[in-house]
Structure 1
Amino acid sequence: GKGGSQVQWLKKVEEVLIRDQLYVIYSESKTLLRDERHQDLALLFKLVNRVPNATNELKKIVENHIYEMGINTIERVSGTAINDPKLYIETILDIHKKYLTLVQNVFTLFDFMINYFIFLACAKFINNNPVTQTAGSTTKSPELLARYCDILLRKGNKGVEETDLEEKFNQIMIAFNYVEDKDVYQKFYSRMLAKRLVGQLSASDDYEESMISKLKQACGYEYTSKLQRMFQDIGVSKTLVPEYEKYRENHRATGIADFSIMVLSSNSWPFSAPSNFILPIEMSTYQMVVLLLFNKALNWTVERMQDETQIKSELLLQVLFGLLKSKLLVCTDINEDELDEDLKDTDIKLNYSIRLATNFKSKKLRINLNVPLKSVEQKDIEGVHRTINDDRKMVIQAAIVRIMKARQTLKHALLMQEVIQQLSSRFKPNIPVIKKCIDILIEKEYLERQPNDKDVLRYLA
């Protein structure tokens, strides 16, 4: 009939005008993408959409374009961005926003699968780019993301209006969803949250809770349970101090200075004990160790201080530098201008004489001397990266035991597959590491290989 021949004729036209020209069309689409001619691109996509499966190659071209643009944009800022969490994360989010808009305007009308290709492109350049390559590890992205959160959640964050903060948190969650090493993000986040809570540096409890609840939605209760317990500890501590005040009034206890205290449960907080040094029992920081020396004498040389406290000299110089800057200590070998401008901790010499500023006065009611030391901060970051692999081995072993307990026997390859699947929401397990964990569990007699089939593992109760 007439209708049938019309369909055949249309098919022939499509074959000649579209299918036989696909190579030219694909090449043209790259030019349109590069020149940001999005309307033309939409027309091209509509045309190619008439030929079965022909848009697959187009989607691949879009994915590659987004990936390359992501890599190039990050490369341009990488020198600064490696130590600037705000620049790094906002660069990533800008790229994401730009191409999400492109995809929504041009393609989603015809094909929802395109969102998957954009996800692939972004996941690739967020987890592996010039910044992570310079750092030598994909764990740099989650570290910088956690540090960006820390900047937003701290007091005195000048750059953001309050109304923008919720939107910023939503943006952070977009980047978070692309990050493969979510366990690394959690480690850095919990350390920074701990410092904010203990140092009373949070801009607002509501914002802190909002961010934790977003993470809980994305990764489940277990992921945020320690963060929530830390929060609860601070809440309990806040009620303890007024209760103690009341107790003192009732018992007419006098002569006790104004103080505040926090009671923290050790297994929820990521603090470790400080390294060994000779320490008076009533104090707990390097600065107090140094200040307590002045109970014995008002003048000390740097060298004598080091002998007395056994604090490593690099660390001691940083502590003294902070105390000199805050004018609690005075050094006659350093003039005032030098102290205010370009003095570095390494300028302090062992033979310098340091005395207590007995006439010290401050307009502030409370002085925060506890500014993080460079070496401590850097070691902190390195320490987190170092412990990641050990922690992951424990998580992988626990997953293997869980799976084998449920299955009793399982082929080696299937076990590997299931471990990867179960842990993919936290991090991407490394195949050789999984194999090593299986061997450890065989050694510990949790599992054994079947005598008649070495490829099958059996759970030993």
Structure 2
Amino acid sequence: MYTPQRSALRNLKMRNKNADLVFPSHKPIPDKSVGASKQSGTNAPVKLVIKPLKVKPMLPVNFEDEMWHKLKSAIIAIHNHRPVKESFEELYKACENLCLHNMAPSLYSKLVNECEKHYIAEKRRLDDNPATQEAFLFEINRCWELHCQQMELIRSIFLYLDRTYVLHTPGIASIWDMGIELFRKHILPPSAVRQKTLWGLLSLIKYERGGDSINRPLVNTLINMFSQLNIYTQGFESQFLSETRDYYEEEGERLVEKLSVSNYIQHVSKRLEQEHQRIMNYLEKKTSTPLFKVVEDELIRKHIDTILAKGFSDLMKGDRNSRKNSKSKLEDLEELYDLLQRVNALDRLRAYFGNYIKNTGASIINDPIVNDPKQDVTVIEQLINFKRRMDEFVEVSFSSSYNFDQALKEGFETFINKRQTKPAELLAKFIDKKLKIGNKQTSDSEVESILNDALVLFRYIQGKDVFEGFYKRDFAKRLLMNKCASDDYERSMLFKMKRECGPGYTSNLEQMFKDIHTSREFMKAFYDSRYGDQLREEFKVDLHVNTLTQGSWPSYNPTPLNIPPEVAQCQQIYETFYREKARGKGLKWYNNLAYCVLSAYYPSGNKEFECTSFQAVTLLTFSELPQTELRTFEEIQQATGMETKELVRTLLTLACAKVKLLVKHPKGKDLKPTDKYSVCDDFKFKLFRIRINSVQMEKTMEENEKTVERVFLERHYQVDACAVRIMKMRKSLSFTELISELLGQLKFKAEVPDLKKRIESLIDREYLERGRDDPTIIRYLA
């Protein structure tokens, strides 16, 4: 370290070697004898004395000018790209000496002035530069890079100044910041040079958005220059965002009408990715939020309704036969979901999704095939496929969103319950068909999957009592006619409904299932007893009786039928056995629900017919007649004792169906009271055992109407019971409060006018009464 004190001492020593400044310890030490040493006694310590200078050291008169001249020459050489004469160490020492002699303020001021002169000259040169756009940008870039290099060198020379005087003096910028300030003040002030640079940058970015390749390193350097000069926000970003808005506003209005929704969505996603790359390549990170907001506003938010109205339905439909196309639609919807999520517009997408479900589901439910008994089961298959498709959209395209899942649920509940009874009837029929087929056409896992899908539709049905009525009727037929494909499937379906609606919902169905198994046990005990032996020995028939619990099964009206005496005797034998086995219980026979296997002998071979009791009794009326003898409708009715309606249905299945066991005279598809019938003596069929279809086995309109009437009648009872239970507990309520309580407690959707009628009925039957002072008050009568 260079100090004035050391310099002065060194000079003085050179002038007079014998001066007092020389330490005494440096003087020659005289030789002393041992005796003298002994005489002195002890060795005294040597004292060192430093005396002040007699003359104060002085700097040369032109010291500051000489030092500054060296530094200035170096600065000018750096600015003019010439080699510096002095060494770096010499220049650094010159700066250090000036600072040590309290000349730092003057040195800093001179440095600022010298740099300012350079930037003023650079500004004039740039103003006179005729280059435009990219060429001018290269010139600005060169100027900035030179500035950075030159300021690095200058700062290295004046580092002592920067770390002492500048650092400890408030209000003075560092040498680097001083250079930045001068560059901003003189090179890029709010002038033509800055505007020229700005428009050049914006032009290059616009070219890149148009698909052209640009010099990204150049753009990156210049934008970094704006940032270093602290003019990025006002000098670049604001104008850049304005130009971006104008660009995408025009592009959005043009392409949203020109492109398909799918292509437009892909284009917007591509644009967002491109802007993200610009952020990564040359824009500042803080520009990300406002930039994406501009793009989202102009390409998405302004055109949400246009996009959804124009192509949402097409995206939802897709092509079921093309897996590739279906996957593409899923991806397009996923992109649409992501885009609308960016602008907080998922509620509008959710509304379109819900409306699409309602409209599409309603078109399925209102399809003409719903009223076609041969094709109405396909409606449920369409609904299941539709539900699976919508589930896939929610899971894949809408990220399993809870709101979209709720929209799916609300949509299905809305369109399914527009028709009060039809969906429940079709669903029961669909399940009946699947439980009859079982795993004959599909595997066990597929059957279970189908039942689960059907149960999902079951959840959406509000009139679950209507479904129960149709399901109970079909379940009874499967049990009585032994058409259940598997008891395991039946138990599985009962368990699913029990889990969904509670044990009370399936109690009767479970009792029906239990009755069939109990009947099998009874029949086994019957054939193990003497009564079974008697039946085999006397009649040589196999009898199977289903003993049903009254109240659990659907109500059946006994239909008149003259059964053969042999069958009546068999029934009597079983009844005797049953009374002994189950004491105190009686039996009521429903012959109209029976079916049997009838043996027939033809010249072409023997046959067996699986038929109902009506068909069997009708055929037996021809067993004792000659083959050529004819019987009229009245004769057959008198012999069988059947009602006209049932006999007409039975003759249709025997004389006008595919398998014709009787011949109608004259031939034709329509039955007339004057028609006559005979046995088909030349009957031929390749199978030995033949099942004869029955109109009774089909769900006729009459049966459906009776089932619905029965359900509505039960609803009346439920409303009455619920109203009495509420009033018994509350004693007194207003009419409006009672209606509200009923709507909250009833398990089915009830209409207010229907509830008013039931309340009036209870008042008429004196379960309730109106208040004497206030007719709007309802009171309970004990």
TM-score interval (norm. to shorter): 0.7 to 0.9
Question: Aligned residue for 2:338?
Answer: 43
Q: Which aligned pairs between 1:157-196 and structure 2 lie closer than 5 A? A: 159-196=441-478
- Give the drift of 1:79: 3.2
Give 2:763's match in structure 1, choosing from 424, 442, 448. Answer: 442
**Change in CA separation of 1:352 and 1:250 when aligned onto 2, cut-off 3 Å:** closer
Contact 1:153 1:207 in 2 (8 A): yes
Whole-angstrom CA distance in 2 between matches of 1:457 and 1:195: 45
Does 2:586 align with 1:262? Answer: no
SS in 2 for 1:272: coil
Give 2:663's match in structure 1, choosing from 312, 331, 337. Answer: 331
**Change in CA separation of 1:401 and 1:20 when aligned onto 2, cut-off 3 Å:** farther
Give 1:139's match in structure 2, choosing from 406, 413, 421. Answer: 421
| CA RMSD after TM alignment | 3.8
Question: Aligned residue for 2:417?
Answer: 127
Whole-angstrom CA distance in 2 between matches of 1:316 and 1:252: 33
Question: Aligned residue for 2:528?
Answer: 246
Does 2:649 align with 1:354? Answer: no
- Give the drift of 1:333: 4.3
Does 2:742 align with 1:399? Answer: no
Show CA shifts across 1:301-340 (max 9, x none). Answer: 2342235556454542331243456979543847xxx8xx
Q: Which aligned pairs between 1:11-30 and structure 2 lie closer than 5 A? A: 18=297, 22=301, 24-30=303-309
SS in 1 for 2:779: strand
**Change in CA separation of 1:108 and 1:453 when aligned onto 2, cut-off 3 Å:** farther
Q: Which aligned pairs between 1:46-195 and structure 2 lie closer than 5 A? A: 46-49=341-344, 55-72=346-363, 78-79=368-369, 82-83=372-373, 84-108=375-399, 111-128=401-418, 137-155=419-437, 159-195=441-477
- Give the drift of 1:414: 2.3
**Change in CA separation of 1:259 and 1:314 when aligned onto 2, cut-off 3 Å:** closer
Contact 1:302 1:354 in 2 (8 A): no
**Change in CA separation of 1:67 and 1:358 when aligned onto 2, cut-off 3 Å:** closer
- Counterpart of 1:287, as a letter, is Q
SS in 2 for 1:163: helix
Bigger relative contact order (CA 8 A; separation at least 6): 1
Does 2:607 align with 1:286? Answer: no
Whole-angstrom CA distance in 2 between matches of 1:191 and 1:105: 40
Question: Aligned residue for 2:163?
Answer: none
Show CA shifts across 1:335-362 (max 9, x none). Answer: xxx8xxxx63x25763424249699999
Whole-angstrom CA distance in 2 between matches of 1:327 and 1:78: 30
- Counterpart of 1:58, as a letter, is L
- Give the drift of 1:35: 3.7
Show CA shifts across 1:246-270 (max 9, x none). Answer: 1128977732432211111121111
Give 2:778's match in structure 1, choosing from 451, 457, 460. Answer: 457
- Give the drift of 1:168: 0.4
- Counterpart of 2:663, as a letter, is C
Contact 2:614 2:650 in 1 (8 A): yes
Contact 1:64 1:121 in 2 (8 A): yes
Whole-angstrom CA distance in 1 between matches of 2:498 and 2:756: 31
**Change in CA separation of 1:233 and 1:370 when aligned onto 2, cut-off 3 Å:** farther
Show CA shifts across 1:111-159 (max 9, x none). Answer: 522222221111122233xxxxxxxx53111000000011001147754
Does 2:733 align with 1:410? Answer: yes
Contact 1:74 1:91 in 2 (8 A): no
Whole-angstrom CA distance in 1 between matches of 2:720 and 2:311: 50
**Change in CA separation of 1:96 and 1:249 when aligned onto 2, cut-off 3 Å:** closer
- Counterpart of 1:306, as a letter, is Q
Whole-angstrom CA distance in 2 between matches of 1:270 and 1:145: 18
Show CA shifts across 1:65-89 (max 9, x none). Answer: 22223334556x5336753243101
Whole-angstrom CA distance in 1 between matches of 2:711 and 2:562: 31
SS in 2 for 1:113: helix
Show CA shifts across 1:406-461 (max 9, x none). Answer: 3222232222122222224xx21111110111111122222222333333322223
- Give the drift of 1:48: 2.7
Show CA shifts across 1:84-113 (max 9, x none). Answer: 24310111122222222212233346x522
- Counterpart of 1:409, as a letter, is S
Question: Aligned residue for 2:318?
Answer: none
Contact 1:328 1:357 in 2 (8 A): no
Q: Which aligned pairs between 1:288-437 and structure 2 lie closer than 5 A? A: 288-291=616-619, 293-294=621-622, 299=629, 300-309=631-640, 311-313=642-644, 315-324=646-655, 330-331=662-663, 333=665, 344=669, 346=670, 350-355=674-679, 364=688, 368-369=691-692, 371-373=694-696, 377-424=700-747, 427-437=748-758
TM-score under structure 1 length normalisation:
0.80
Show CA shifts across 1:255-302 (max 9, x none). Answer: 243221111112111141245577778364433543454477554223
Listed as ranges, the gaps of 5+ residues in structure 1 are 1-5, 129-136
**Change in CA separation of 1:157 and 1:370 when aligned onto 2, cut-off 3 Å:** farther
- Counterpart of 1:418, as a letter, is E
**Change in CA separation of 1:155 and 1:23 when aligned onto 2, cut-off 3 Å:** same
Contact 1:81 1:88 in 2 (8 A): no
TM-score under structure 2 length normalisation:
0.49
Whole-angstrom CA distance in 2 between matches of 1:41 and 1:231: 51
SS in 2 for 1:322: helix
Whole-angstrom CA distance in 1 between matches of 2:698 and 2:314: 48
SS in 2 for 1:331: strand
Contact 1:32 1:40 in 2 (8 A): no
**Change in CA separation of 1:456 and 1:24 when aligned onto 2, cut-off 3 Å:** farther
| Higher Rg | 2
Show CA shifts across 1:1-21 (max 9, x none). Answer: xxxxx99x9799969965998
Whole-angstrom CA distance in 2 between matches of 1:179 and 1:46: 32
SS in 2 for 1:454: coil
Q: Percent of aligned pairs with the same residue? A: 28
Whole-angstrom CA distance in 1 between matches of 2:733 and 2:454: 39
**Change in CA separation of 1:329 and 1:302 when aligned onto 2, cut-off 3 Å:** farther
**Change in CA separation of 1:273 and 1:313 when aligned onto 2, cut-off 3 Å:** closer
- Counterpart of 2:763, as a letter, is I
Moved more, 290-299 or 30-39: 290-299
Contact 2:562 2:641 in 1 (8 A): yes
Whole-angstrom CA distance in 2 between matches of 1:246 and 1:168: 41
Question: Aligned residue for 2:504?
Answer: 222
Whole-angstrom CA distance in 2 between matches of 1:99 and 1:364: 48
